[in-house]
Amino acid sequence: MKNEKSGKPEKQYNPEKKRENPDGKFSRPFVRSSGKKFQKSVRSGQGRGEPDKIRLNKFISNSGVCSRREADTLIQAGAVSVNGKIVTELGTKVNPSDRVMFGDQAISREKPRYILLNKPKGFITTVDDPEKRKTVMALIAGACRERVYPVGRLDRNTTGLLLFTNDGNIAKKLTHPRYGIKKIYHVELDKPLIKEDLIKISDGLVLEGDAVKVDNIEYIGDGKDRKQIGVALHSGQNRIVRRIFEHFEYKVVKLDRVYYAGLTKKNLPRGHWRFLEESEINMLMMISTR
Please give the C-alpha separations between residue 35 and each of 19, 21, 26, 31, 201, in angstroms, as whole numbers: 21, 22, 18, 6, 61
As to burial, measured by CB atoms within 10 angstroms (0-12 exposed, 13-18 middle, 19+ buried), residue 92 is middle
- Identified catalytic residue from 98, 155, 197, 215: 155
Secondary structure (3-state) at 156: coil
Task: Report how far residue 175's alpha carbon sits from residue 162's, in angstroms, rounded to the nearest whole number.
Answer: 12
Active site residue 256: no
Task: Report how far residue 8's alpha carbon sits from residue 251's, in angstroms, rounded to the nearest whole number.
Answer: 90
Task: Report how far residue 2's alpha carbon sits from residue 8's, in angstroms, rounded to the nearest whole number.
Answer: 5
**Nearest 10 degrees: Cα torsion 264, 265, 268, 270:** 150
Q: Identify the DSSP state of 4.
A: T
**Residue 182: CA atoms inside 13 Å, Cβ hemisphere, count?**
13
Task: Identify whether the C-beta of residue 121 lies closer than 8 Å to the C-beta of residue 157.
Answer: yes
Quick one: angle between helices 278-285 and 168-175, nearest 10? 60
CB atoms within 10 A of CB 229: 23
Write out the catalytic residue numbers: 155
